[in-house]
Amino acid sequence: MFKGSLVALITPMTADGALDEDAFARFVEWQIQEGTKGIIPVGTTGESPTLSHDEHKRVVEIAVKVSAGRIPVMAGAGSNSTAEAVDLTRHAKLAGADAALVVTPYYNKPTQEGLFLHYMAIADAVDLPVFIYNIPGRSVVDMSVETMARLAKHRNIIGVKDATANLTRPLHTTAACGHDFIQLSGEDHTALAFLAAGGHGCISVTANIAPRLCSQMHAAWHHGHISEAMAIQQRLVPLHDAMFCETSPGPVKYAASLLGLTADHCRLPLAPVAESTKIRVKAAMISAGLLN
């Protein structure tokens, strides 16, 4: 169910900082029409740290309603509080999501045993497929392959979003967890290399603004058209660079605003992007053929 080009959705907001539910619904529909194979609401790109619990749950509900079973929904449900993560995962199931994406607990810096117990508590509490989200750059903890292998034995823990950019990791994860354990890259630049190392797809930031290109790249790869996939990848590299020249999702929200999809507002503590960032983002979009 989860493979190919998936997108870590931005959360549109109005000028006064409120959720723009209509813009979000339109954005989800546009993603589906452009060929995205799965959507991930309220992850880091969706500014989940600054959403209230009610807002978080509402975004998941809209994503499920609009997708209407056409593509799978993996709802962000992570927290550095295990009880809170259980609550968000339970809501994801009730809302009709197909899976939950649970980030390694940030700030607390749990041990490997703490990580194991955290995910086991969630998987035991809610009968819903769970993806581990391993992103040491944001959470300051790195789940080991050995811990992941222990967790993969639980029937509800079915995969990982790997944002380590370590291309030896999927090789070792396959060896430890098996070929059925779904490995999704969380790093746009290495998406193709991740597939070559045994991955199944990518949860992309860039796909927010270039969903068709990202989907075409994955389709080309899966059909064995390697040179075509690599050509698309090369076309996307300046765009990937621009999306992370400041803290995400600032640049990608600005890019989406240039396409008329959403406003560019982020909630504090994320500041409006710098003028130099705007120039770089716009240039990258022109280079990729997204703007005239």
Q: In what order do the strands lie in the sheet with 157-162?
A: 38-40, 4-8, 201-204, 182-185, 157-162, 130-134, 99-103, 74-76
**For residue 24, is it within any domain?**
yes
- Each residue of 153-190: pLDDT tens digit? 999 999 999 999 999 999 999 999 999 999 999 999 99
Q: Are 214 and 5 in contact (CB under 8 A)?
A: yes
Q: What is the mean pLDDT of residues 56-75?
A: 98
Q: What is the mean pLDDT of residues 247-274?
A: 96
Characterize 103-137 residue by residue with b for buried, 16 or more Cβ atoms within 10 angstroms of its Cβ, and e for exposed. Answer: bbbbeeebeeebbbebbbebbebbebbbbbbbbee
**For residue 217, is it within any domain?**
yes
Residue range(s) defining the domain that contains residue 71: 4-226
Q: Which residues are catalytic?
A: 133, 161
**For residue 268, is it within any domain?**
no
Q: Are 191 and 217 in contact (CB under 8 A)?
A: yes
Question: Count H helices, E strands: the chain?
Answer: 12, 8
State the pLDDT at residue 89: 98
Q: What is the mean pLDDT of residues 200-229?
A: 98
**For residue 81, is it within any domain?**
yes
From CA 243, how far away is CA 247, in angstroms rounded? 8
State the pLDDT at residue 236: 98
From CA 58, how far away is CA 128, in angstroms rounded? 19
> Per DSSP, what are the bridge partners of residue 76?
101
Tokens describing residue 98: 């197909």
Q: What is the mean pLDDT of residues 27-43?
A: 98
From CA 14, how far away is CA 45, in angstroms rounded? 17
pTM for this entry:
0.96
Confidence band of 1 (pLDDT split at 50, 70, 90): confident
Q: Are 189 and 202 in contact (CB under 8 A)?
A: no
**For residue 256, is it within any domain?**
no
State the pLDDT at residue 232: 98
- Each residue of 267-292: pLDDT tens digit? 999 999 999 999 999 999 999 999 98
Q: Are 194 and 162 in contact (CB under 8 A)?
A: yes
State the pLDDT at residue 219: 98
For the cut 90, the answer to whether the pLDDT of residue 67 exceeds it is yes
What CATH number has the domain bearing residue 213?
Answer: 3.20.20.70
Domains contained in the chain, number: 1
Q: What is the mean pLDDT of residues 232-239?
A: 97
For the cut 90, the answer to whether the pLDDT of residue 66 exceeds it is yes
For the cut 90, the answer to whether the pLDDT of residue 151 exceeds it is yes
From CA 5, how far away is CA 121, in angstroms rounded? 30
Q: How much is the mean pLDDT over the chain?
A: 97
- Each residue of 192-204: pLDDT tens digit? 999 999 999 999 9
For the cut 90, the answer to whether the pLDDT of residue 5 exceeds it is yes
Q: What is the mean pLDDT of residues 48-64?
A: 97
CA 35 to chain CA mean position, Å: 16
**For residue 198, is it within any domain?**
yes
Strands 4-8 and 201-204: parallel
